[in-house]
């Protein structure tokens, strides 16, 4: 089967990922702000005997890429082999988008222009003359609304037809004076065997006028470089004088913008401009005084709902797993198999799945923030505030993603252009509690605080994490990095009604991942915990206890049984391990079971709850009447519980997150620092809180 390689390129937030989702069964992440996609993603489909591979790239404003995620896109366009470019543009801001279109056309590849978001333009009474645009550019143009699924069905057919047809002639020419110089550069380039392809030579010549460092690197090591270097020097001088510009790069930008404006004047029937809904909403939401309180209110509301609504089905789920566990005990004969299932895997998995509703509600909140366009506003609102702490406003986006999962949040930090801003953001990102820590919080809040304040407590925990992040950023900035965070320009997309389909898909994917993790990773880990806590067997413990008065009955018998199992647990492998690490955590009031759970959380934060569930279930004689909540309340003091919450909030994130940091940050010094400091800080803060509560008499 013939393979067609297609690359999707365009400016940020024009709907590239949405277009792919609309024409394939892919489920790429979309959101209404710039920089949703930060790495390339491939999707393949088959049609008419072709295998079509479509690559989604992060958005780029121009080929003069700055940020790491723009570099991903640029490097792909420069160095990877592909047959066709699909350039997606936003119909509402066509002129600005076309400047990139022209740069892509310079590549002299076969190209299709997808003008997306026409639904929004049409709603305001605007219109685009497709035929005229095709004539002007000399490439196929398709008008689409990826959100409403309109026009997108034409894309694949057009791609295949274009693939089979000869390449249309280049119609994009710049000012004659510029073209003349391009011609000179091309002639020199073509002396080299690398530039036999005329189109490629033209592209390189234009990029050299754009002062493109990445392209400069390509020619730098070639023999023609000496001749070229001299030529370029004189060309730059000549053009800069002629166009009265500081650099030929500016000249090219102006040139493209002029061309784009002219094209738009010809093909777009302007919408009648009245004050848009977005402007009216923004008058309230980015109000200098009310903006921030409104945002905080939304956040507070989200955590209230997360706790209260999310906790409704909890008992049902808990009951279900208790019943399953009982069922297993009735069906299977007593022995290790029965025990590993009924005491190990099922309670552990159940203790995690109980929190699925909470986690989904939290993700829903984040998704709505992303989809509506409010995210970019809050970044703008918080910019001034965050700058005081040495972070730039744009860092808000990775920080908020961190409330969902730290892994994509580290990736999202790629949108920060300045390396210092980026590393500071990444170092404090772990303090934004991810959704996997939510179960620990909900569990401990449920056990130790009155229900009426539960939502507030949850809000408080998340807010303190965020504030701690800001404070640490401040310290890092003044101790390790001098200077100010970079001022940032962030585009404000218009408000968009969230696509419920995208929301549903997102939640569905999150739920699947969550259940899968519970069913595989947590189930597996709980087997290990069960094994370590059940062996080695110590028959002598039971024998010892049974030496006493025989025929104990009722409550007394249960109590003895309880003591036996607690002793057995202490003499297990896990008991030994726990005892070995207990001294580290003893100053925080943790017993060895809590200590083991905290360490288990380094693998994955869900492991904290599932390990607690296993360890506090064993050693309890009267299982049915005791929920994990009650057991925690009976075994753990309030001050130790607070210390525990602080540890979970601050210490290292899970292995997956740590390895992402590792991959994104090449410097060894930072990697080492990152491994150590959150844990030290967590311990110190937890200790401080524990002592304080102790002094206050709790």
Ligand X SMILES: Nc1nc2c(ncn2[C@@H]2O[C@H](COP(=O)(O)OP(=O)(O)OP(=O)(O)O)[C@@H](O)[C@H]2O)c(=O)[nH]1
One of 120, 212, 255, 318 touching ligand X (CB under 6 A) = 120
One of 4, 55, 59, 418 touching ligand X (CB under 6 A) = 59
**What is the spatial distance between Cα 110 and Cα 657, in angstroms, rounded to a whole number?**
40
Does the footprint of ligand X cover residue 30 (CB under 6 A)?
yes
Looking at 449-572, list the stretches that DSSP marks H as alpha helix, in order from N- to C-terminal side: 451-479, 500-517, 523-534, 539-546, 554-570
Stretch that binds ligand X, among 117-125, 128-136, 357-365, 393-401 (CB under 6 A): 117-125
Radius of gyration of the chain (CA): 31
Cβ-based neighbours of 487, under 8 Å, separated by 6 or more: 392
Stretch that binds ligand X, among 144-152, 348-356, 535-543, 681-689 (CB under 6 A): 144-152
Does the footprint of ligand X cover residue 116 (CB under 6 A)?
yes
Does the footprint of ligand X cover residue 126 (CB under 6 A)?
no
Nearer to ligand X, 13 or 597 (CB): 13
Omega of the bond leading into 536 within 30 degrees of 0 (cis)? yes
Tokens of 606: 């869900």
Instruction: Give me the least distance between CB of 5 and ligand X, in Å please.
Output: 19
Instruction: Give me the least distance between CB of 380 and ligand X, in Å please.
Output: 17
Nearer to Mg ion, 16 or 437 (CB): 16
Phi, psi values for residue 42, rounded to 5°: -105, 140
Burial class of residue 347 (count of CB atoms within 10 Å of its CB; 0-12, 13-18, 19+): buried
By the 8 A CB rule, do 362 and 403 touch?
Answer: yes
Instruction: Give me the least distance between CB of 27 and Mg ion, in Å please.
Output: 12
Instruction: Give me the least distance between CB of 611 and ligand X, in Å please.
Output: 38
Instruction: Give me the least distance between CB of 395 and Mg ion, in Å please.
Output: 20
Tokens of 420: 């210092």
Instruction: Give me the least distance between CB of 88 and Mg ion, in Å please.
Output: 9
Nearer to Mg ion, 370 or 570 (CB): 370
Instruction: Give me the least distance between CB of 111 and ligand X, in Å please.
Output: 17
Nearer to Mg ion, 446 or 498 (CB): 498
Q: Which of residues 39-58 bind ligand X (CB under 6 A)?
A: 58
Nearer to Mg ion, 19 or 107 (CB): 19
By the 8 A CB rule, do 650 and 431 touch?
Answer: yes
Instruction: Give me the least distance between CB of 97 and ligand X, in Å please.
Output: 11
Q: Which residue has the tokens 């939510």?
A: 438
Instruction: Give me the least distance between CB of 28 and ligand X, in Å please.
Output: 7
Between the CA of residue 406 and those of 365, 604, 679, what are the distances in Å? Answer: 16, 12, 16
Nearer to ligand X, 281 or 638 (CB): 281
Q: Which residue has the tokens 């918080």?
A: 382
Q: Binding-site residue total for ligand X (CB under 6 A)?
A: 27
Interface characters, 9-28, with ligand X (x: CB under 6 A): -x-xxxxxxx----------
CA atoms within 13 A on the CB side of 539: 0
Q: Please report which helix (H) or strand (E) contains residue 84, including its range.
A: strand 84-90
Q: Which of residues 487-526 bind ligand X (CB under 6 A)?
A: 496, 499
Does the footprint of ligand X cover residue 145 (CB under 6 A)?
yes
Nearer to Mg ion, 88 or 251 (CB): 88
Return the SS3 of 402: helix
Does the footprint of ligand X cover residue 37 (CB under 6 A)?
yes
Phi-psi region of 126 (alpha: psi -120 to 50; beta: other; left: phi over 0): beta
Q: What angle do CA 535, 537, 542 make, to 5 degrees?
A: 135
Q: Please report which helix (H) or strand (E) contains residue 127, including its range.
A: strand 127-128
Beta pairing class for 41-47 and 110-116: unpaired
What is the secondary structure of 24-65 as a DSSP string? SS------SSTTS--S-EEEEEEETTEEEEEEE----SSSS-
Q: What angle do CA 220, 221, 226 make, to 5 degrees?
A: 65
Quick one: which of 493, 35, 126 has its CA closest to 281? 493
Partner touching 181 among ligand X, Mg ion, none, CB below 5 to 8 Å by kind: none
One of 119, 129, 175, 486 touching ligand X (CB under 6 A) = 119
Burial class of residue 410 (count of CB atoms within 10 Å of its CB; 0-12, 13-18, 19+): buried
Using CB under 5 A, list all residues that contact Mg ion. 16-17, 36-37
Position closest to ligand X via CB? 59
Interface characters, 558-597, with ligand X (x: CB under 6 A): ----------------------------------------
Interface characters, 332-371, with ligand X (x: CB under 6 A): ---------------------------------------x
Partner touching 232 among ligand X, Mg ion, none, CB below 5 to 8 Å by kind: none
Partner touching 392 among Mg ion, ligand X, none, CB below 5 to 8 Å by kind: none
Instruction: Give me the least distance between CB of 30 and ligand X, in Å please.
Output: 3
Tokens of 207: 């990029």
Stretch that binds ligand X, among 124-132, 140-148, 331-339, 689-697 (CB under 6 A): 140-148
Partner touching 31 among Mg ion, ligand X, none, CB below 5 to 8 Å by kind: ligand X
Cβ-based neighbours of 581, under 8 Å, separated by 6 or more: 592, 595, 596, 599
Q: Which residue has the tokens 């200098």?
A: 288
**What is the spatial distance between Cα 414 and Cα 667, in angstroms, rounded to a whole number?**
16
One of 4, 23, 63, 117 touching ligand X (CB under 6 A) = 117
Partner touching 126 among Mg ion, ligand X, none, CB below 5 to 8 Å by kind: none
Between the CA of residue 281 and those of 302, 330, 657, what are the distances in Å? Answer: 20, 60, 37
Nearer to Mg ion, 416 or 686 (CB): 416
One of 4, 23, 32, 639 touching ligand X (CB under 6 A) = 32
Stretch that binds ligand X, among 31-39, 208-216, 340-348, 654-662 (CB under 6 A): 31-39
Secondary structure in 3-state letters for 233-296: HHHHHHHHHHHCCCCHHHHHHHHHHHHHHHHHHHHEECCCCCCCHHHHHHHHHCCCCCHHHHHH
Does the footprint of ligand X cover residue 146 (CB under 6 A)?
yes
Nearer to Mg ion, 113 or 412 (CB): 412
Largest CA distance in the chain: 108
Instruction: Give me the least distance between CB of 280 and ligand X, in Å please.
Output: 18
- State CA 242 to chain mean position distance: 47
Partner touching 572 among ligand X, Mg ion, none, CB below 5 to 8 Å by kind: none
Nearer to Mg ion, 16 or 414 (CB): 16
Residue ranges in contact with ligand X by CB under 6 A = 10, 12-18, 30-32, 34-37, 58-59, 116-117, 119-120, 145-147, 371, 496, 499
């Amino acid at each position: 089967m013939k393979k067609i390689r297609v690359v999707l390129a365009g400016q940020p937030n024009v709907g590239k990922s949405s277009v792919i989702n609309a024409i394939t069964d892919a489920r790429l992440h979309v959101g209404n702000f710039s920089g949703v996609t930060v790495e390339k993603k491939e999707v393949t489909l088959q049609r008419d005997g072709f295998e079509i591979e479509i690559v989604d790239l992060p958005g780029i404003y121009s080929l003069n890429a700055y940020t790491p995620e723009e570099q991903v896109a640029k490097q792909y366009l420069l160095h990877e082999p592909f047959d066709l470019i699909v350039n997606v543009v936003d119909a509402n801001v066509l002129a600005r988008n076309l400047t990139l279109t022209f740069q892509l056309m310079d590549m002299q590849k076969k190209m299709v222009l997808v003008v997306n978001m026409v639904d929004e333009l049409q709603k305001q009474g605007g219109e685009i003359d497709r035929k005229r645009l095709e004539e002007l550019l000399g490439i196929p143009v398709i008008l689409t609304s990826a959100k409403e699924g309109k026009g997108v069905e034409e894309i694949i057919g057009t791609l295949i037809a274009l693939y089979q047809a000869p390449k249309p002639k280049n119609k994009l020419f710049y000012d004659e004076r510029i073209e003349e110089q391009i011609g000179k550069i091309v002639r020199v380039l073509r002396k080299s065997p690398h530039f036999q392809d005329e189109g490629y030579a033209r592209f390189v010549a234009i990029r050299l006028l754009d002062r493109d460092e990445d392209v400069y690197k390509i020619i730098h090591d070639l023999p023609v470089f000496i001749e070229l270097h001299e030529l370029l020097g004189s060309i730059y001088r000549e053009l800069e004088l002629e166009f009265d510009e500081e650099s030929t790069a500016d000249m090219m930008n102006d040139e493209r913008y002029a061309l784009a404006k002219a094209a738009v004047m010809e093909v777009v029937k302007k919408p009648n401009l009245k004050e848009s809904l977005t402007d009216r909403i923004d008058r309230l939401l980015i109000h200098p005084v009310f903006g921030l309180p409104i945002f905080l209110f939304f956040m507070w509301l989200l955590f209230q709902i997360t706790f209260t609504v999310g906790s409704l089905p909890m008992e049902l789920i808990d009951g279900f797993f208790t019943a399953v566990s009982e069922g297993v005990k009735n069906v299977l004969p007593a022995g290790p198999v029965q025990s590993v299932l009924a005491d190990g895997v099922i309670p552990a998995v159940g203790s995690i799945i109980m929190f699925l509703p909470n986690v989904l509600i939290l993700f829903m909140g984040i998704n709505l923030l992303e989809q509506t366009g409010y995210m970019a506003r809050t970044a703008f609102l918080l910019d001034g505030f965050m700058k005081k702490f040495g972070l730039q406003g744009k860092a808000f986006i990775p920080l908020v993603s961190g409330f969902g999962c730290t892994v994509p949040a580290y990736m999202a930090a790629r949108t920060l252009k300045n390396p210092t801003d980026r590393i500071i953001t990444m170092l404090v990102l772990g303090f934004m509690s991810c959704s996997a820590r939510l179960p620990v919080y909900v569990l401990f809040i449920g056990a130790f605080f009155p229900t009426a304040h539960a939502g507030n407590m949850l809000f408080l925990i998340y807010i303190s994490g965020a504030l701690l992040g800001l404070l640490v950023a401040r310290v890092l900035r003044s101790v390790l990095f001098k200077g100010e965070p970079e001022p940032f320009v962030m585009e404000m997309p218009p408000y968009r009604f969230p696509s419920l389909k995208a929301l549903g898909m997102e939640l569905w994917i999150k739920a699947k991942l969550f259940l899968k993790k519970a069913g595989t990773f947590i189930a597996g880990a709980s087997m290990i915990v069960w094994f370590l806590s059940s062996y080695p067997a110590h028959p002598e413990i039971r024998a010892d206890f049974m030496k006493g008065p025989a025929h104990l009955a009722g409550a007394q018998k249960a109590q003895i049984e309880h003591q036996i199992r607690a002793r057995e647990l202490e003499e297990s492998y896990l008991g030994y391990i726990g005892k070995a690490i207990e001294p580290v955590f003893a100053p925080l009031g943790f017993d060895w079971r809590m200590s083991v759970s905290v360490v288990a959380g380094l693998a994955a934060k869900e492991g904290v709850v599932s390990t607690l569930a296993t360890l506090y279930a064993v050693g309890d004689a009267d299982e049915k009447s005791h929920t994990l909540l009650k057991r925690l309340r009976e075994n753990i003091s309030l001050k130790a519980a607070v210390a525990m919450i602080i540890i979970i909030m601050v210490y290292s994130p899970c292995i997956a997150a740590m390895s992402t940091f590792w991959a994104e940050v090449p410097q060894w010094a930072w990697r080492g620092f990152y491994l150590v400091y959150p844990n030290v800080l967590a311990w110190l803060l937890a200790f401080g809180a524990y002592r304080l509560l102790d002094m206050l008499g709790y």
